[in-house]
Structure 1
Amino acid sequence: MPVSLDLASPANRPRPLAKVSPVDGGEKPSLIGLDRDALAEALRSVGVPERQLRMRVAQLWHWLYVRGVADFGQMANVAGDLRNALADTYSIARPEVVEEQVSVDGTRKWLFRFPAKGAGRPVEIETVYIPEEGRGTLCVSSQVGCTLTCTFCHTGTQRLVRNLTPDEIVGQILVARERLGDFPDAATPAGAIVPSDGRLVSNVVMMGMGEPLYNFDNVREALAVATDGEGLSLSRRRVTLSTSGVVPMIPRTGEEMGVMLAISLHAVRDELRDELVPINKKYPLKDLLDACRAYPGVSNARRITFEYVMLKDVNDSMADAKELVRILKGIPAKINLIPFNPWPGTFYECSDWDQIERFADYVNQAGYASPIRTPRGRDIFAACGQLKSESERMKKSDRVKLETARISELAAH
């Protein structure tokens, strides 16, 4: 069974979270997620002379994103008066970790809580870490809930509450790296899940809760910080943004973010995709695939990933496989076949494993890499399509039954 740490209850809190500043109620603006110009403006506002701005920006950038501190008091080479002025005016607080779960396969899921913004209320989102051989992938959320109502996706059953801001997006990466002991040049923090040993968060995928391209500006700003070579330093080729098909924003994604693109496809005919991915009614397959063919920088070395969830007797026939190959002709592509991950209340079933393999073999023989994605974190609802704020959780008895069934299914494969 999975390990679940309910950090909302002090009695169940095994160790204090390391270096995470208390949430300040959202009253102070955050310095996290700002670009260098905005960070310089913040320093200017607390009296830093013009001649010192460049140096001070570099210092803050280093402490926030290289050393990973979450307390101004830890910025050893910043003058005490400046540290105090910044702490009085700004925040570098990270999201509160409400719950932390560890799957039987090593996948980790965090339930994060962000303070209220403006007249809103505190909100919760989920972030998932997937350890693999030679790399670790962090699945980051961009919205609280979602507007797209894709019928096979659990997140789509939760209404959209609001977009996440750049500090909230970057904050997910910072907390994950801290909890995994993944900041360089620092001793393993108390409370870290694993000791620091190389870079554990090597890849980021914008595939968590929400549609990233409906939060374009905030996602762009956050990824600019994440891929900055003097900070978190993630290669753009190790950052993938997944969209359900917001066609007008796809060219801008390539031009302004320069990250890898993934398309949540799931059907090869408009009439079926209209049902599975309702945004298709606005941006049909032809328009979507034309945008993919024209994606800036697309090549055999920078292929577009097409995600295809395998739904029994819905989209998994050999006729579907043949049509998939036909419609992707001319697009440098990889096709990720995703066994459907069930969730409470769904009426879909996962395709039979033999049929998934037959489907994959046909697509492979046609010249497209089509790996079958190994289900990860199903037992803690951390798999693709399963994320939903745990504040809307199912009855415990139902969850235990489903977890038990999933563990048996994983063992069978």
Structure 2
Amino acid sequence: MDVLNQLEESLGCKPTVLVSRARLADFSDLRRLIGLRDSASEKNNLRPPPPGIWPLISHHHFNTHNFFGLTPKGNLKKRTLMLLLAHHGVVASDPLIEVVQLWSADRRAKALALLNKVIYQIAEVESLILKGLMRFESHRPSFTDLARQEVLAAFNVDTNFRQFTYLIEAYEAAQNEGGQFAIAYAQDVYELYENCGQDCPSLRNASDAFTATMNLGQALIQLSWQFGVVSVNGYCDITVTNGLEKRMFKSLMDKWKDRPISLTMEKGQQNTRHFERLLLGTLPNIDAMSLSVSDAVALRKHRVFEEFRSTVTDALDLYERLLPDEGVGVAAARFAEKMQAESHRMQSVNHRSELRTMGSLGIPVALTAAATSLPVEFMDNGAATIGVGVAGMIGAWLAQTTRAKGERVAIRYCVELGR
């Protein structure tokens, strides 16, 4: 039973109906919901989604693309909705988990208040859920999760974030004192970035240093959570939401690729590791538009975007077929050929249709493909634990591939959201 069905059964109607009646849930509704959550076997009841790319959107409030943010209406960012134009659908972190956590902590009034906010937010995306374009992921790996620990360790950060806690607590003093104290504070942040193997932005003052600290910490939280989920769930795809996350994801892939075995996947080679960025093309810059959920659904059905998604699917299928036998160069070249032809077609159609009013074609859409020739026993048994360290963590991610058992190459994708 998914989130929408749970709400409908506990409320006696769909969230949209409750909202249209200007009615709020009460404690009896909340108790029914908690009972359903306690008795439901989520993973056994959910059917696998259709194959394709399903970007995973986290629940973190600092994630500006989170569907269920702090505001009563949620946080339906246009760039997130744009994923629906390019991909099969999106996977959102289950927003009812926090409701259950508050209930379990005996904070019943807060649980009810949050439930009513979630009901409103679910009503906003109800059409996406009913059309099968939005699914929910209930796994919430803690920092003790092995995949999350390995991501943090790869950047020399421990699970209690001590380096970050110190800098957050020292910020107020650095801001108030200024002078040498602020300079020393900024230097500590430069060293934090260096310790994590990342380039630090220019820091003009303590405020810049604090912002840089928060950005780095949030990127680590977000990226480690993504790996914690996808290492046990083959039906959603890692999604990086900004340039820092993108660079940190690449750092992880570089570490994985540079381990003892072969660095490239070439024809006839075994035990290989490979990753590369695949540019799908560009889509209309809709950030300046007043785009609602219903607008996004309607736009998604336009033949231009239906044909675009069909071409993406065909191009990825071709890439996956060619990679094991023809090698990286041939697979990537054929993929690029198909997508370049599609880009030309889209631009031609847009100039001749009502889509020309949507603005420039300026938002790049890309994936990073990661592939390895996992041993047959892993592919056949679906093993989710392969060694330790970055190699083991990424191996677990790849082992969750939903491709047919016995395939020689496991391939999974990371979706880029934003520049």
The TM-score bracket by the shorter chain reads: under 0.3
Q: Which has the higher strand share?
A: 1
TM-score relative to the length of structure 1: 0.24
Greater relative CO, 1 or 2 (CA 8 Å, sep 6+): 2
Which structure: larger Rg?
A: 2
TM-score relative to the length of structure 2: 0.23
